[in-house]
């Protein structure tokens, strides 16, 4: 009888232990003249278990390697429509994760130039303002331990480079709950 009680105690303790394991996720976005990619790294048990996923992103550059503003406007419109369709679920996920997930590092380094020093200066001020607003919004929504934001202006040439990194820590149970929230939302949308 004692063995049966120990078996059920162990059966209840193992899932509780597994769900409370901390997960570290690293998200990196790299955009330069050669490539555009989004990389995900997941580390469990202090790096004993690792998973890496790299997603190549399409290019906003024309055949000369210069930034194509029409393609960027098209993509921005698509992202705006996607956000409009998913605004409610994004709000629910942010509300759930706000105090449960910690951002250990948020780093954005961007460099750009338009080829004209005047327009580069104007856009530099706009990007610094936008970056400040986004950094403040993220800091107010989540626990952020370290943040770095830097914009470099290329006054003598045209180009656009971004190197960003976000390190998140949370527990496995939060990943499962987020996935359940998304699945429930998808089912509700299918019923409509």
- pLDDT tens for residues 60-87? 555 555 556 677 778 778 888 888 888 8
pTM (predicted TM-score)? 0.71
Burial of 163 (0-12, 13-18, 19+ CB in 10 A): middle
Tokens 């406007």 sit at which residue?
73
Segment 107-145, tens digit of pLDDT: 989 888 888 888 888 888 888 898 889 889 888 888 889
Residue 74 contacts residue 156 (beta carbons within 8 Å): no
């Amino acid at each position: 009888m004692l063995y049966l009680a120990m078996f059920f105690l162990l059966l209840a303790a193992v899932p509780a232990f597994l769900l409370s394991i901390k997960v570290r996720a690293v998200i990196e976005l790299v955009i330069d003249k050669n490539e555009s990619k989004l990389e995900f790294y997941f580390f469990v048990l202090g790096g004993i278990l690792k998973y890496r996923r790299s997603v190549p992103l399409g290019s906003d550059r024309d055949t000369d390697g210069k930034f194509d503003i029409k393609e960027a406007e098209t993509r921005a419109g698509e992202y705006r429509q996607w956000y409009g369709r998913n605004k409610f679920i994004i709000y629910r996920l942010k509300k759930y994760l706000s105090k449960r997930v910690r951002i250990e590092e948020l780093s954005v380094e961007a460099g750009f130039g338009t080829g004209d020093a005047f327009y580069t200066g104007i856009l530099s001020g706009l990007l610094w303002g936008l970056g400040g607003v986004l950094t403040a919004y993220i800091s107010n929504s989540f626990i952020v331990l370290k943040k770095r934001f830097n914009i470099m202006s290329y006054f003598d040439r045209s180009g656009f480079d971004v190197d960003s990194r976000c390190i998140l820590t949370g527990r496995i149970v939060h990943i499962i709950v987020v996935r359940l929230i998304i699945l429930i939302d998808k089912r509700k949308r299918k019923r409509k």
